[in-house]
Amino acid sequence: MVTEKNRFLRGDDIPRSEITPRDVFENRRRLIQLAGAAGASALFGTATLARAQSAAVSPDPKAQKLSARPNPAFRLPDTVTPYQDITTYNNYYEFGTDKSDPAHHAGTLQTRPWIVSVEGECQNPKNYAIDDLLKLVPLEERVYRMRCVEGWSMVIPWIGYPLAEIIKRAAPTSSAKYVQFITLDDPKQMPGLSEPIINWPYSEGLRMDEAMNPLTLLTVGLYGQVLPNQNGAPVRVVVPWKYGFKSGKSIVKIRFVDKQPPTAWNTYAPQEYGFYSNVNPQVDHPRWSQATERRIGEGGYFTPKRPTLMFNGYGEQVASMYQGMDLRKFF
Amino acid sequence: MSDIHPPPTVAKPASGRAPRAAASGASAASTARMGADARQMRWIKIVVFCAALYPFARLIVFGLTQQLGANPIEFITFSTGTWTLVMLCITLAITPVRKLTGINQLLRLRRMLGLFAFFYGTLHFITYIWFDQWFDLHSIYHDVLRRPFITVGFGAFVLMAALAVTSPRAMVRKLGGKRWQLLHRAIYLIGILSILHFWWMKAGKHNLAQPKLYAAIVAGLLAIRVVYAVAARLKRPA
């Protein structure tokens, strides 16, 4: 059922009448893929067809299934990015700097046993075993846009529940102004840690209101399955209105702090990566424009980039948190 | 650093391959040997030409068989950029290797290799203005002006184009050997700008392993020239 509140959470400014029901757009997507493949195969032979079909095939048959209720408030009209692209094109420097490295090297990550320590300025600090965390709240599926600071984007069906559920249980004190997320840093499991690219462990953070925003998702799966290691298994956060690097992976600590915590890329190059890092087409990264993005898996080689949306299209849900702030200064 | 010799511009002998030997009035026997050398050189050139086309052929095959990964345009951009740098390094290596080994024929491959560097540089540039910028001249203009890594990359490309245009023998005659030589020393600057372009691009994510490798190679190739130049200067008064 779509309540008035949920209707507000749609993550897009598109009128309801223009939003395509999931089954329709999935069918349409298949048709477009086939049509595109047919057109492309006229140009490039039949190889394209093989890939379009394989992209439509269900994800990894060996991966553990994860049942989750699709939340109708978080559908998107956008075509979902193929599973193969989501799981082979990753920035996860703990497993190497090439986009394909994490898929090749993340097999060494041990996701059981796994403890997430909720700590710091709160009344109920607690160590959660990962399997308890999975059962804490019913899981839901949400389709979010993901925009990387490098200028590409995906559309991903995540599984999880609002981070706010954990925060509420922890009962942060009045001095808790920010939430910090710490990623595992075990060199035995993560070969990339031998390169001093950033100050390990990877650390990210949100202001308390950002962390409590209903969009901020504690994420344990994608495409109906548990998170693949290269996507941040066994648990990560997803903050869809910010550049992807703000969404910390393989989290071992969720810490309430009174000051803005040091965050990985901001510490490395504060002039290039702000603490907020809200998706903003008007504020360029010094090395490239942020006005457009390449949607991974969309169309063929000759598909132009698409315009980037303010707050990645989630302005309705998040813009009020930044009212009165100079977003050029606090980029 | 005077290793850039213009190709000989004397009247072409029938083969067009051995002007110096022909000009020195070779005996019949050595002329026959020259013919064999020319044939050998032609084959070597064909082999090198095909080898230098391999990276391009690979991109085409990967494109047709969907092996360019999740972000094909990024793959093509990185690949063509890397091969431009590789071809530049090989071109810059010709003179030092020739001096170290005494194989003077290597010089005959230099122009072709330099033109291949320009070829991959052109593919790299086209990928940027077409697939990345979609011919948005305003956006390209801003990129070139405001983003140092693009500014130096663009500068290197413009210089390479100038060298490519003046690469035919006829241009050597037109410019005169000295001026041609001076212009073609821009290859040293192109090497340095290309390294900066690569370095500054990768610095954004502090991922400098590859730029460091190429910087070391280019620095080494330029340093050898300095050593030769100093040695030549020291020898001269004796």
Parse chain B into domains and list their residue ranges.
26-235
DSSP structure class, residue A289: -
| A304 in reach of chain B (CB within 8 A) | yes
Residue B10: which pLDDT band, with cuts at 50, 70 and 90? very low
Output the DSSP codes for chain B: ----PPPP-SPPPSSSS-HHHHHTT--HHHHHHHHHHHHHHHHHHHHHHHHHHHHHHHHHHHHHTT-S-S-HHHHHHHHHHHHHHHHHHHHHHHHHHHHHH--GGGHHHHHHHHHHHHHHHHHHHHIIIIIITTT-HHHHHHHHHH-HHHHHHHHHHHHHHHHHHT-SHHHHHHH-HHHHHHHHTHHHHHHHHHHHHHHHHHHTTT--HHHHHHHHHHHHHHHHHHHHHHHHHHHTT-
Rounded to an integer, what distance in angstroms lies between the CA atom of residue A300 and that of residue A48? Answer: 10
- Is residue A281 within 8 A of residue A291, CB to CB? The reply is yes
User: Which residues from chain A sit within 8 angstroms of residue B149, using beta carbons?
Assistant: 287
Rounded to an integer, what distance in angstroms lies between the CA atom of residue A212 and that of residue A321? Answer: 11
B71–A51 CB contact, under 8 Å: no
| Mean pLDDT, residues B181-200 | 97
Q: Is the pLDDT of residue A34 over 90?
A: no
Interface of A with B in 282-301 (CB under 8 A): 285-289, 291, 294, 296-297, 301
Q: Which residue of B has its CA nearest to A293?
A: B132
pLDDT of residue B204: 87
What are residue A66's phi and psi, to 5 degrees? -140, 115
Higher pLDDT, B25 or B144: B144
> Where is average pLDDT lowest: A56-70, A255-269, A306-320?
A56-70
pLDDT of residue B37: 83
CATH class, A4-322 region = alpha beta
pLDDT of residue B235: 86
B204–A287 CB contact, under 8 Å: yes
| Mean pLDDT, residues B20-31 | 52
User: Which residues from chain A sit within 8 angstroms of residue B143, using beta carbons?
Assistant: 288-289
Higher pLDDT, A22 or B71: B71
Task: Answer yes or no: is the ipTM higher than 0.90.
Answer: no
Which one of A51, A152, A288 has the shortest CB-CB distance to B66? A51
Q: Is the pLDDT of residue B12 over 50?
A: no
Q: Is the pLDDT of residue B32 over 80?
A: no
**Close Cβ partners of A29 (under 8 Å, ≥ 6 residues apart):** A79, A80
Residue B146: which pLDDT band, with cuts at 50, 70 and 90? confident
Task: Give tens-digit pLDDT for B67-92.
Answer: 999 999 999 999 999 999 999 999 99
The whole model's pTM is what? 0.82
Is residue A54 within a helix (H) or strand (E), and if so which, with residue range?
helix A47-56
Which one of A48, A269, A294 has the shortest CB-CB distance to B66? A48
Q: Is the pLDDT of residue B39 over 80?
A: yes
User: B206, B210, B212, B213: which to substitute to probe chain A, counting the most A Cβ within 10 Å?
Assistant: B206
Average pLDDT, chain B: 88
Q: Is the pLDDT of residue B222 over 60?
A: yes
A89–B71 CB contact, under 8 Å: yes
pLDDT of residue B142: 87
Q: What percent of chain A has pLDDT over 90?
A: 75
Q: Is the pLDDT of residue B225 over 50?
A: yes
Helices B186-203, B148-165: inter-axial angle, 10-degree rounding = 150
| B70 in reach of chain A (CB within 8 A) | yes
Residue with tokens 């009035």: B25
pLDDT of residue A116: 98
Q: Locate A270 and state its tokens.
A: 């504060």
For A253, B139, B185, B202, the CA distances from B142, given in Å and listed in that order, are 42, 5, 29, 20
CB atoms within 10 A of CB A64: 9
Numbers of helices and strands, H then E, in chain A:
10, 13
Is residue A257 within a helix (H) or strand (E), and if so which, with residue range?
strand A251-257
pLDDT of residue A105: 96
Is residue A69 within a helix (H) or strand (E), and if so which, with residue range?
strand A69-70
Nearest by Cα to A277 from A238, A320, A203, A330: A330
Residue B14: which pLDDT band, with cuts at 50, 70 and 90? very low
Q: Is the pLDDT of residue A90 over 70?
A: yes
Q: Is the pLDDT of residue A53 over 50?
A: no
Q: What percent of chain B has pLDDT over 70?
A: 86
Rounded to an integer, what distance in angstroms lies between the CA atom of residue B118 and that of residue B56? Answer: 13
Rounded to an integer, what distance in angstroms lies between the CA atom of residue A253 and that of residue A270? Answer: 23
pLDDT of residue A36: 44
Q: Is the pLDDT of residue A271 over 70?
A: yes
pLDDT of residue B30: 64
- Is residue A261 within 8 A of residue A205, CB to CB? The reply is yes
Is residue A166 within a helix (H) or strand (E), and if so which, with residue range?
helix A164-170
pLDDT of residue A88: 95
Q: Is the pLDDT of residue B119 over 70?
A: yes
Task: Give tens-digit pLDDT for B87-116.
Answer: 999 999 999 999 999 999 999 999 999 999
| Mean pLDDT, residues A59-84 | 92
pLDDT of residue B18: 43
| B69 in reach of chain A (CB within 8 A) | yes
pLDDT of residue A287: 84
Q: Locate A268 and state its tokens.
A: 């490395």
B147–A288 CB contact, under 8 Å: yes
Task: Give tens-digit pLDDT for A152-181.
Answer: 999 999 999 999 999 999 999 999 999 999
Rounded to an integer, what distance in angstroms lies between the CA atom of residue B97 and that of residue B91? Answer: 10
Residue B5: which pLDDT band, with cuts at 50, 70 and 90? confident
Is residue A161 within a helix (H) or strand (E), and if so which, with residue range?
strand A152-162
pLDDT of residue B31: 66
Average pLDDT, chain A: 86
Burial per residue of A149-176, b for 16 or more beta-carbon CB atoms within 10 angstroms, e otherwise: bbbbbbbbbbbbbbbbebbeebebeeeb
| B71 in reach of chain A (CB within 8 A) | yes
pLDDT of residue B76: 96
Rounded to an integer, what distance in angstroms lies between the CA atom of residue A93 and that of residue B205? Answer: 10
Beta bridge partners of B36: none
Rounded to an integer, what distance in angstroms lies between the CA atom of residue B27 and that of residue B76? Answer: 52
Handedness of CA A39, A42, A44, A49 (dihedral sign): positive
